[in-house]
Structure 1
Amino acid sequence: MTAGAGPAGRTQAVVIGAGIAGLASAALLARAGYAVTVLEKQRQVGGRAGSWELDGFRFDTGPSWYLMPEVFDHFFKLLGTSADEQLDLTVLDPGYRVFFEGRPEPVDIRRDRRLNQELFERLEPGAGARLGSYLDSARSTYELAKEYFLYTSFASFRPLLAPRVLRGLPLLARLLLQPLDAFTARFVRDRRLRQILGYPAVFLGSAPKLTPSMYHLMSHLDLDDGVLYPRGGFARVIEAVRALAEAEGARIVTGAEVEGILTEPAAGRHRVTGVSYRDLDGTGQILAAGTVVSAADLHHTETALLPRPLQTYPERYWRRRVPGPGALLIMLGVDGTLPQLQHHNLLFTRDWDANFGAIFGKAPTVPQPASVYVCRPSATDPAAAPAGCENLFVLVPLPADPGLGRGGVAGGGDGGLEALADTVIAQIAQWAGIPDLAGRIRVRRTVGPADFAADFNAWRGGVLGPAHVLRQSAFLRGSNKSRKVEGLYYAGGSTIPGIGLPMCLISAEIMLKRLLGDTSTTALPEPLPAAGARAGGVPGAGAAR
C-alpha cells in the first residue's frame, strides 16, 4: 500500500482531532470516497465540546448556544439526514435573561421580534422602531454573508465579483471599518441596550470596540431567529456527528496524540505522506496518508507538528495576532431549584469598556467584577441533574494566559482560580437574588486557561481561537490549506470561516470544497453524492488544489 492509497485503492486521509470540525471533516471525506482515520489525543471525542458527569449531574464543558440552526440542518442533509432526524430540538423562550450591575430587575430576550422591540421601547423611547431597522440590517447582512463569504475558501476571488456584492461594496466597507460598538450607538443610547447588541462580539472571541460592525449580523441569530437547545446537550450533537462519520466508514482512534506531520519532497515542494503519533500505550506509530486534515489548533499544527521551513504560519505570524479570550469555567451541581435563572443568563458589569480592556488591553488582567455567562440546562433538560437539583455552567472571560492556572474538582484547582470562582459564585448569588447559592453546591469543578493549553493545545490557553478583529476575519483569517505542503488542509475555529460550532461545520465543508477544487461561494448541494455516484469516480490525491 502506498502512502496515498487505502483499502480498495481509496485515498487514505488522516484527520487530526475529533472535535466537531474533525468529526465533520471525517464524515464528508468518507462520503466523498476517502479511507479516513481520525486521531484524537483525548480518550473521548468532542474536543472543546466535551461532557463531564459526576453524581448524576451532566455538564457540557464547552459550547452551549445552538444558533444558526439552518447550518446544522444543512450539514446533516449533506449526509442524507436532517437535524430533525438526528436531534430533539427545543425552542427557548425567553432565549436568555440579562442581569445588569446596579439594576434590580433583569430583562428577558424573547423569541418574538415584536416583544423584543417592546422591551427596547420600554427601556428607551424610540428604540423599538430602531431595533427593527437594526435587525433588518442584521438579517440582510447575514444572508449576504451566507451566500458569498461563509462557504467560500477564498481560493478564488472571481465568484465575489457578483453584482450584488459589487453594489454593496460601499456599505460593506463601512461595516468592516466601523467597530460594532460605534455602529450600535447609532441605533440605541441606553447602556443596557448597547450591551445587548454588543455582546455577540464575545461569541466571536472579541470585544465590541475591536469587532467590525459587519458582525452585527449576529443579532439576527438571537433577537430575530431564536435560540434552540438540543436535548441531551451538545454532547448529543457530537454523538450524532460521530455516528454519521462512522456510518460513512471513518475510523476514530482515541488516545492517539499526533507528534508530527510527515512529508517528502515532490516537484520542488513537499507533500504529506502521513503522520506520526503515540497510542494509548505510549508506543510510537506511523500512519501513511495522501491527505491530512488538521482540525487541531492551527498554531499547534503549524509550530509543533511541522518543521520550520514548512510552516505557513510560523511563530512570528502569531506574535502579530490577537487571541480570543481565555476563560474560567465553573460547573456546579446545586441542591434545590433556581427559578431566578433562565436557561441562558448574562451578567453585565456597569463599566463595560473596563471589563473588555482588562482582557484585551496591552497589560491584560483578570476583570473585577467580570461580565459572566451562566447556563442552567436543567431548566430545559431534566436529565442534566438529579431530581430536585440544578446544573449550572458558568463562563468567566479572562485574558488568554495559561499562567492563570488550572482548575480542579471540589476546589482542587490552583488557588487564584478557585478564589475567583468563589467571587463569581457570590456575584451570581447577589445579582440573581440567590443568597444561599454557595451553601447549596454539591458538585463543583473548575477549568482554567492552562487546562485548555494542556488538553487542547490551545494557543495561549484561549477558549475560542483567534479573535474576529478585522485583520483576522474572512480571507484575512488563517487559510484552510497549507502553502508549503501539498495535501495538508485545516479545519476548525482557528481557520476560516471562524469561531463557533456552526462555523466549524462550515469549515469542514469548505475544506472538502478546497480539496475538490470547488471555488463557489455557496453551500454544497444536498445531499452530497456518495463517491460511487460521483461523476469521475473516487477522488485521488491529484484532485487537491
Structure 2
Amino acid sequence: MIGAGMGALAAAARLATAGHRVTVYERAATYGGGVGRYERDGFAFDTGPGLLHLPAVYRDLFIKTSRGGKGTLESVVEVRQTDPSSAHVLPDGTRFALPDASRAGVVAALDAALGAGAGQRWGEVMNRARHVWEVTRRPLLEETLAADPTPLGRDPYPAARRGLFRRAVPSLAALAARELGHPGLVALMSGYALQYGLDPATAPASAVVLPYMEQTFGTRYVAGGMRALAGAVYDRCVARGVAFRFGAEVTRVVERDGRAAGVELADGEVAEADVVVDGRPGTPLPGDLARFTVLLALRGARPSGTAHRTVVHGSGTPDEEAPTVTVLRPDDPALRPDDRHESAVLTVTVRPQGPVDWTAPGYAEAFADRVTRAVGAAIPDLADRLLWREVRTPADVAAATGAPGGAVPAPVLAGADGAFLRTANRGGTPGLYLVGGSAHPGGGPAHAGMSAAIVADLIAGGPGGSR
C-alpha cells in the first residue's frame, strides 16, 4: 500500500480483515493525508475536511472490519448531528440558517429569509437533483468506473422545461441563474459548489447532487475533529495487523512479467508484493482547485447558539478579491484549552499553487487579512478576541501531502464530457490498483472510503462494488 491517506487506510483495513498481509509505506511522518491536525497552546484544528458527509460509508467500514460485529463506528468515535446544518450571511447582509436533513425545513427557512416562493424554487431544483442522485449513485459511487465511461459524460440533470422543450444547462452557474433566479439562492448554490472544491462556472449542472446529499442525508461532526476519525481508522488497521512504515517514500512501482510486483523506496530498497495499491495524490484535473485556511485561536467562550458552520458569501467564484468563506466553530472541548477560549477554522476555495504564487512575499498574509475581515460578519468581535492565527496556503498543503500545487480533488460528477471523472481503480498494469481522492470516485472522506471498498472488492475477485 502506497500512502496512508483516508482511502488507503480504509482499503488496508478491509484487505487485512480479508486475510491479506498489508504493509503501508507513507512519505510523511503520520497517517491521514489531507485529514491533518495543527496543535498549539492547547488549541487544536482540523487542517483538512471538518465535517463528515454520508457517514454510512464509515459505518460500513467499521462493521465490515469488526470482529463478531463489535467495534462499530459509534463505538470508537462520537458522531454528532450538526443542526443547523449551516448558517449563511449573504453579500447584502441577509442571514438565515438551514436545518439538517429536513427538506421541508429548508424550504420554510428560505421562504422566511428570501421571500415567499424562494423555498419552492430551491425545492424544485432539489427534486431534479434527486433524479441525478438516483441515476448516478451506483455508477459514480458504488461501482468501479465502467470500461466505457462515455455515458457518464452526458449530464443527467433534467433541466426545467421552457416552453415546449427542455434545454440543456451547460454549468451549475447557468442552472442557478436560470432556475433559481433570486441572487440569494444563486449565492447559496455557488457556496455549496465552492465548499466541495468546485468552480460553479465550470462545474456541470449535475453538481446539484452535492447540496441534495447534504440536505437529504445530513451532515455530521466527529468529536475531536475529523482527525479523530482518521485515528480510529488507523487504529483499526493496526488491530487487524497492518504494518506501517512512515518516512518511507515510494519512488516507483516495480513491475515483473508484465504486472505490479512491489515498490521501490527512495533509499533503493525494494519491497516485493503480490498486489500494489497506490493511494498517492495524482495529476490534478484541469478544474481542480485548492484550499486556503486560516486557523484562529480566540479568547472568550464560544457564544451560545453559535452555528457549527457559517458560510459568508462573497462573489460565488474562486475570487481572491471577494472570497466566499466557510467558518467552522465546533463546540468541542478537545479543540480548545478550556471553556474560556474558542478555536475556529476559516476556509476558502482558491486556485492552486502555480496559477497563483502563494509563496510570493506578503501575498498569503494579505489574503488572510482579507479573509479575516470578511468573517467579521460571522464573528463581529473577532479583532478583540483574536490571540493568534495560523495560515495554511495551497503551497503548504503541497509540501505536507505531496498533492501537486496543493490541489484538492472534488467528488466525481457526470456531465461535461467526462471532465469531472477520475482515474479508474484498476491501474494500467495488472496487479496495480488506485485508491483515494485522485481515483474514482474522487475527493472527500466519504468518497475516499467508497474507493477503498471498490478496490478491496476488485482484489477479492469481485466486480468492484462498494458492497
TM-score range, shorter chain: 0.7 to 0.9
Q: Find the counterpart in structure 1 of residue 163 from structure 2.
A: none
Shift of residue 473 of structure 1? Answer: 5.6
Q: Find the counterpart in structure 2 of residue 101 from structure 1.
A: 91
Q: Find the counterpart in structure 1 of residue 449 from structure 2.
A: 505
Q: Find the counterpart in structure 1 of residue 217 from structure 2.
A: 225
Secondary structure at 2:441 match in 1: coil
Q: Are residues 1:294 and 2:278 paired?
A: yes
* Selected match of 2:142 from 151, 170, 186: 151
Q: Are residues 1:77 and 2:23 paired?
A: no
Shift of residue 417 of structure 1? Answer: 0.6
Q: Find the counterpart in structure 2 of residue 344 from structure 1.
A: 309
The aligned amino acid for 2:325 is V
Q: Find the counterpart in structure 2 of residue 114 from structure 1.
A: 104
Q: Are residues 1:459 and 2:411 paired?
A: no
Deviates more, 1:139-148 or 1:175-184: 175-184
Measure, in 2, the Cα distance between the counterparts of 1:198 and 1:433.
22
Distance change >3 Å, CA 57–CA 154, structure 1 → 2: same
Coordinate RMSD, CA, aligned: 2.9
- Aligned partners of 1:325 and 1:464 also within 8 Å: yes
Measure, in 1, the Cα distance between the counterparts of 2:374 and 2:392.
18
Shift of residue 57 of structure 1? Answer: 0.3
Shift of residue 331 of structure 1? Answer: 0.9
* Selected match of 1:214 from 206, 212, 230: 206
Shift of residue 466 of structure 1? Answer: 8.7
Secondary structure at 1:149 match in 2: helix
User: In the TM superposition, what are the counterparts of 1:12-31 in structure 2 within 5 Å?
Assistant: 15-31=1-17
User: In the TM superposition, what are the counterparts of 1:289-438 in structure 2 within 5 Å?
Assistant: 289-299=273-283, 321-339=285-303, 341-349=306-314, 351-352=315-316, 355-356=317-318, 358=319, 367-377=320-330, 380-387=331-338, 388-402=340-354, 404-405=357-358, 415-429=362-376, 431-432=377-378, 434-435=380-381, 437-438=382-383
User: In the TM superposition, what are the counterparts of 1:455-494 in structure 2 within 5 Å?
Assistant: 455-464=400-409, 470-472=416-418, 476-483=421-428, 485-494=429-438
- Aligned partners of 2:291 and 2:394 also within 8 Å: yes
Secondary structure at 1:342 match in 2: coil
Measure, in 2, the Cα distance between the counterparts of 1:293 and 1:76.
20
Q: Find the counterpart in structure 1 of residue 121 from structure 2.
A: 130
Shift of residue 471 of structure 1? Answer: 4.3
TM-score (norm 2): 0.88
Distance change >3 Å, CA 416–CA 425, structure 1 → 2: same
TM-score (norm 1): 0.76
Runs of 5+ in structure 1 lacking a partner? Answer: 1-14, 300-317, 359-366, 407-412, 525-545
- Aligned partners of 1:466 and 1:494 also within 8 Å: no
Distance change >3 Å, CA 499–CA 473, structure 1 → 2: farther
* Selected match of 1:277 from 265, 268, 281: 265
Secondary structure at 1:390 match in 2: strand
Q: Find the counterpart in structure 1 of residue 133 from structure 2.
A: 142
Q: Percent identity?
A: 28
Shift of residue 420 of structure 1? Answer: 1.4
- Aligned partners of 2:6 and 2:445 also within 8 Å: yes
Q: Find the counterpart in structure 1 of residue 47 from structure 2.
A: 61
Deviates more, 1:444-453 or 1:174-183: 174-183
Q: Find the counterpart in structure 2 of residue 441 from structure 1.
A: 386
Query: Could you report, residue by residue, the CA deviation over 1:18-42 in whole angstroms, capped at 9, with x for unpaired residues?
Result: 1101101111121222211011111
Greater helix fraction, Structure 1 or Structure 2: 1
Query: Could you report, residue by residue, the CA deviation over 1:206-242 in whole angstroms, capped at 9, with x for unpaired residues?
Result: 2222222222121223223322111111011101111
Measure, in 2, the Cα distance between the counterparts of 1:169 and 1:464.
21
Deviates more, 1:83-92 or 1:233-242: 83-92
Shift of residue 284 of structure 1? Answer: 4.2
- Aligned partners of 1:40 and 1:256 also within 8 Å: yes
Aligned length: 449
- Aligned partners of 2:2 and 2:8 also within 8 Å: yes
Deviates more, 1:124-133 or 1:440-449: 124-133
Distance change >3 Å, CA 509–CA 473, structure 1 → 2: farther
Query: Could you report, residue by residue, the CA deviation over 1:293-324 in whole angstroms, capped at 9, with x for unpaired residues?
Result: 1111123xxxxxxxxxxxxxxxxxx7xx4142
Query: Could you report, residue by residue, the CA deviation over 1:353-409 in whole angstroms, capped at 9, with x for unpaired residues?
Result: xx34x5xxxxxxxx20211111112xx212211221110111122211256235xxx
Distance change >3 Å, CA 502–CA 254, structure 1 → 2: same
Distance change >3 Å, CA 441–CA 36, structure 1 → 2: same
Higher Cα Rg, which structure? 1
Measure, in 2, the Cα distance between the counterparts of 1:293 and 1:510.
12
Secondary structure at 1:74 match in 2: helix
- Aligned partners of 1:263 and 1:272 also within 8 Å: yes
Measure, in 2, the Cα distance between the counterparts of 1:397 and 1:169.
26
Deviating above 4 A after TM superposition, structure 1's stretches of 4 or more consecutive aligned residues are 155-158, 168-172, 174-177, 465-469, 471-474
Deviates more, 1:176-185 or 1:24-33: 176-185
- Aligned partners of 1:221 and 1:227 also within 8 Å: no
Measure, in 2, the Cα distance between the counterparts of 1:28 and 1:136.
35
Q: Find the counterpart in structure 2 of residue 51 from structure 1.
A: 37
Distance change >3 Å, CA 170–CA 439, structure 1 → 2: closer
- Aligned partners of 2:423 and 2:439 also within 8 Å: yes
Measure, in 1, the Cα distance between the counterparts of 2:282 and 2:120.
43
Distance change >3 Å, CA 148–CA 443, structure 1 → 2: same
Measure, in 2, the Cα distance between the counterparts of 1:94 and 1:181.
25
Q: Find the counterpart in structure 2 of residue 536 from structure 1.
A: none
Measure, in 2, the Cα distance between the counterparts of 1:489 and 1:175.
39
Query: Could you report, residue by residue, the CA deviation over 1:491-514 in whole angstroms, capped at 9, with x for unpaired residues?
Result: 111111112110000011111223
The aligned amino acid for 2:182 is D
- Aligned partners of 2:441 and 2:450 also within 8 Å: yes
Distance change >3 Å, CA 472–CA 252, structure 1 → 2: farther
- Aligned partners of 2:57 and 2:450 also within 8 Å: yes
Shift of residue 128 of structure 1? Answer: 2.3
Runs of 5+ in structure 2 lacking a partner? Answer: 160-165
Measure, in 2, the Cα distance between the counterparts of 1:489 and 1:205.
25
Q: Find the counterpart in structure 2 of residue 261 from structure 1.
A: 253
Secondary structure at 1:97 match in 2: strand
Q: Find the counterpart in structure 1 of residue 162 from structure 2.
A: none
Measure, in 1, the Cα distance between the counterparts of 2:60 and 2:353.
36
Query: Could you report, residue by residue, the CA deviation over 1:439-484 in whole angstroms, capped at 9, with x for unpaired residues?
Result: 432232111121222221212321336985734567x42122222x
Measure, in 2, the Cα distance between the counterparts of 1:242 and 1:143.
33
Secondary structure at 2:269 match in 1: strand
